[in-house]
Amino acid sequence: MGVLMSRRQTVERVQKVSLAVSAFKDGLREQPSTRRRAEAGTARQGTLEQEVQEGEEEASAGPSQPEESSASKAAWERLRDGRGVEPEEFDRANRFTPPAFIRPKRELHDDEPPDISLEQREQILNDEMCEICEVWTAESLFPCRICPRVYHDGCLRRMGYLQKDSAVEVTETAHTETGWSCYYCDNLNLLLTEEEMYSLMETLKNCKIIPESCLTLDDFLHYKHQVHKQQFERTMPEAQEEQAALQFNALDPDKKGHIEWQDFLSHESIQLLQKIRPQNALLRLLTPKERERARAAFLALDQDNDGFIGEGECRQARHTWFRKHQKEMLSCNVSISHVGPISEGSPASSRNGKSPEKILPATKQEETRSIDWPGFLRENVAYILAARPNSAALHLQPLA
């Protein structure tokens, strides 16, 4: 019995010694950081008096302006970083971490005209593995209609990008000609560089726009008037105000009386791209799927195959072909695999006698002016980019 007790005591002693050694090692690991904090504290002692003096000067100068609330700061940070989902909107448990969006940078050759041939067709290939989990499961992957990325619906749910109300719609449209845009392509704001995003944020702040809030017609028109006055130092003409009202109606297809923040942000982003970047730089943003869809549009309008279309036909494409589908329009008559939505008012579907929209008749000047393939791309590139989001809103209203 004494031998058994001594063995147990020996085991207990060994365990205590092991715990002591582990604690000693942990202390050694923490020692450098503690030393660094002590050094940082010593370095800050020299500037403590200066900070106190500066604080007294600010207090004597008068009360400072109220700081932004933490919620407002967080909203501006999400806008700056391209994150459109509120962290509080869904439980983080059992969810993937949303990706860190890296804004693009302008290259030296961006302003040079790209070589986009009409005759040379591009092969459309989607990725084989899910963008999130990098696992291949064949037909259960949802392809993006803009880029080659593919996704699992379960991965999208765990990312928080696929809610219950949108899951059915994505399932129905992802494998049709209407298609579905992934969370990268759905957000036009991610096309802006850091400098362009900073410029847009400054404009929104100066006009007292609250991020992640809905805008009524009065709010939208007031904002447009302020931007015009800041840019041109004069009031906005009545014709431009009418065009702004038409744009508001296009951003509010369900007639709710307000426009959603994400639709407003997409509209402002595409307008800023139009204003800052030349058309050649915008053409370089087009993906192979978008370029192939533009080829199909031009070839459908070029009935005599001479490489030219009229101005009226180009305007027709702007009003119908690049207009996004409504939810009830899920069928399509042109076989182009996952290249984007095609309205029933497009030239392809008009052959069957279905044209829900009335196209304004072309003037004599429009009928005489011919547009070739490069000109067609330049005049429509902004509308092609504006058709990326899944929202039914029209983020760039074509001029009448």
- The pLDDT of residue 10 is 55
Q: Indicate the burial class of 378 (C-beta count within 10 angstroms; 0-12, 13-18, 19 or more).
A: middle
CA torsion sign, 83 to 84 to 88 to 94?
negative
The CATH fold of domain 192-276: Recoverin; domain 1 (1.10.238)
pTM of the model: 0.69
Burial of 380 (0-12, 13-18, 19+ CB in 10 A): buried
What is the C-alpha separation between 153 and 169, in angstroms, rounded?
A: 12
| Pick among 3.40.50.1580, 3.30.40.10, 3.40.50.720, 3.40.50.2000: CATH of 122-186 | 3.30.40.10
CATH 3.30.40.10 boundaries in the chain: 122-186
> Per-residue pLDDT averaged across 222-241, rounded?
93
Q: Which of the residue ranges 12-16, 136-140, 251-255 has the most confident prediction, judged by mean pLDDT?
A: 251-255
Q: Which residues of 157-181 are buried (b: 16+ CB within 10 A; e: fewer)?
A: bbbbbbeeeeeeebeebbeebbbbb
Write out the residue limits of the CATH 1.10.238 domain(s) in the chain. 192-276
> Between residues 86 and 129, which one has the greater pLDDT?
129
**348 pLDDT exceeds 80?**
no
Indicate whether 397 pLDDT > 50: yes
For 309, counting Cβ atoms within 10 Å of its Cβ (0-12 exposed, 13-18 middle, 19+ buried), the class is: buried
Residue 375 pLDDT > 80, yes or no?
yes
314 and 380 Cβ atoms separated by less than 8 Å: yes
Cα separation of 379 and 373, whole Å?
Answer: 10
User: Which residues are registered as beta bridge partners of 259?
Assistant: 215
Band of residue 246 on the pLDDT scale cut at 50, 70, 90: very high
CA dist 173 and 142 (Å) reads 9
Query: Using 50, 70 and 90 to split pLDDT, how confident is the model at 132?
Result: confident
pLDDT for 303 beyond 90: no
DSSP 8-state class, residue 176: S
E strands present in the chain: 141-143, 150-152, 215-216, 258-259, 309-310, 370-371
Token output for 87: 């962290």
Check whether 313 has a pLDDT greater than 80: yes
Secondary structure class of 363 (helix, strand, coil)? coil
Mean pLDDT of the chain: 75
